[in-house]
Amino acid sequence: MFVDKVVIKVKAGKGGNGCVSFHREKFVPAGGPDGGDGGRGGDVILVTDRNMSTLMDFRYKTKYVAENGADGGPRNCTGRDGEPLIIKVPNGTLVRDKETNAIIKDMTGVDRFVLARGGAGGWGNKRFATPTRQAPNFAKSGLPGEEREVVLELKLLADVGLIGYPNVGKSTLLSVISKANPKIADYHFTTLYPNLGVVYVEEGVSFVVADIPGIIEGASEGAGLGHDFLRHIDRCRLLIHVVDAAGSEGRDPVEDFETINRELAEYNPQLASRPQIVAANKTDLLYDRAPLDRLRAHVEGLGLELYEISAATNKGVREMIRAVATKLQHLPPIVVYEPEYVPPEEKLSPDDLTIELEDGVWVVEGPWLERLVSNINFSDTESLGYFDKMLRQNGVYDKLEARGITDGDTVSIYGLEFEYHR
């Protein structure tokens, strides 16, 4: 099964907590604090794998979590860093932020990219020792790792894209000019997913061709299969527009040509200006040249080249391929998309609090307050005093008084309950 778009959640590892410890050694009085720092959380890293051709691996597993950092230990032992989590993706994968759809990274030609960074480890109590605070009985908790929900979108890396209505001979043409073996049959939508083939023109000259499943009228709005695979044309430097010049299915070649180009323009206006040549296929079935002559006049009137070919008999195919190779020499390389995503600033503000009165208890919550609580040792008088000082300085008590709290009321902050007194 060909899978080219998935949504996954990634979470980097949390940093390990700092350690509270004091040096204990015979005949060494007042050894002092020796709590080590926590280890750093593991990163989530994307790595390109050139042997992968779809995103099938992500169909059943959509959540990826890296290892947490280990807590610090006594005797100044720093905790072990969490192992990074490696996620392999095909070359050409676009990584987008799910919420904004902005491009985070184009994995084309990139070996690895850190998608989510692990949290820093917390400091051990040794770091808080000062001449006036020689025995700190508290340490810092590790910081959480980055967490993201992203869209992985595969855009095939092909120099040339074969486009056209279903059953016009694109798959047959691909099988003739390359060693690809696409399924070929005489019915619409035989090709259910893009096929790639490498075309060798001569020594040192080759290019990659993608056979895009048949596009029909309304494809840009989701009709047929074309909508699902139009994205794979985005990177193609040149398009070969295959048209049934014989009108073997009763359609008009000129009308087919215009319909497909209209669908490309509606999907992405830039595709309308993409370099294009026209392959008038199935000329071996022609009994009347009038439709072919009308198509040639129309195409050349637009400044495009037309080649009369028969993929079934190989007529004219070699000449067209040499012309394609010549054109590619003068076209810019495959598109690599620039990042658009701007990560939001992580700013924990004491103003971002919620205060609710529940069953006579004032419940106070907020990201800044949660971070503060995680760094407090409530069994230590000095650390508890620091907590009270931070609440007072940052206006938490003022906000409670504005809401109507009175002396003796109970306050609950992330599991800590105490009586409020001015």
Report whether 254 contacts 241 (CB < 8 A). no
What is 354-419's CATH topology? GMP Synthetase; Chain A, domain 3 (3.30.300)
CA distance 353 to 326: 65
What are residue 231's phi and psi, to 5 degrees?
Answer: -60, -25
Report whether 149 contacts 98 (CB < 8 A). yes
Q: How far is CA 176 from CA 118, 167, 211, 328, in A?
A: 50, 16, 12, 20
What is 160-328's CATH topology? Rossmann fold (3.40.50)
Q: Would you give per-residue pLDDT tens digits along the chain (422 residues)?
A: 456 789 999 999 999 999 988 887 776 656 788 889 999 999 999 999 988 878 888 888 999 999 999 999 998 899 999 999 999 998 889 999 999 999 999 999 889 999 999 998 988 888 878 777 777 888 888 888 999 999 998 887 889 989 888 888 888 898 888 876 655 545 444 445 677 888 888 887 888 888 887 665 544 454 444 456 677 778 889 999 999 988 877 788 999 899 888 888 887 788 778 899 999 999 988 888 888 999 999 999 999 999 999 988 999 999 999 999 999 999 988 888 888 887 776 667 788 888 888 888 888 988 888 888 877 777 677 778 888 888 888 888 889 888 888 888 888 888 778 888 87
Report the amino acid identity of residue 26. Answer: K
Instruction: Work out the burial of residue 276: count CB atoms within 10 Å of its CB; fewer than 13 is exposed, 13-18 middle, 19 or more buried.
Output: buried
pTM of the model: 0.73
Beta bridge partners of 48: 89
Q: Is 233 helix (H, G, I), strand (E, B) or coil?
A: helix
Return the sign of the alpha-carbon dihedral for residues 162, 166, 170, 175: positive
Q: How far is CA 130 from CA 75, 135, 295, 314, 378, in A?
A: 18, 8, 86, 85, 20
Which residues of the chain does CATH 3.40.50.300 include?
Answer: 160-328
Neighbouring C-alpha atoms within 13 Å toward the C-beta of 120: 4
- Helices 367-374 + 381-393 axis angle, to 10: 160
Q: Which helix (H) or strand (E) segment is 171 a member of?
A: helix 170-177
Which residues of the chain does CATH 3.30.300.350 include?
Answer: 354-419
Domain 1-154's class?
mainly beta
Which residues of the chain does CATH 2.70.210.12 include?
Answer: 1-154
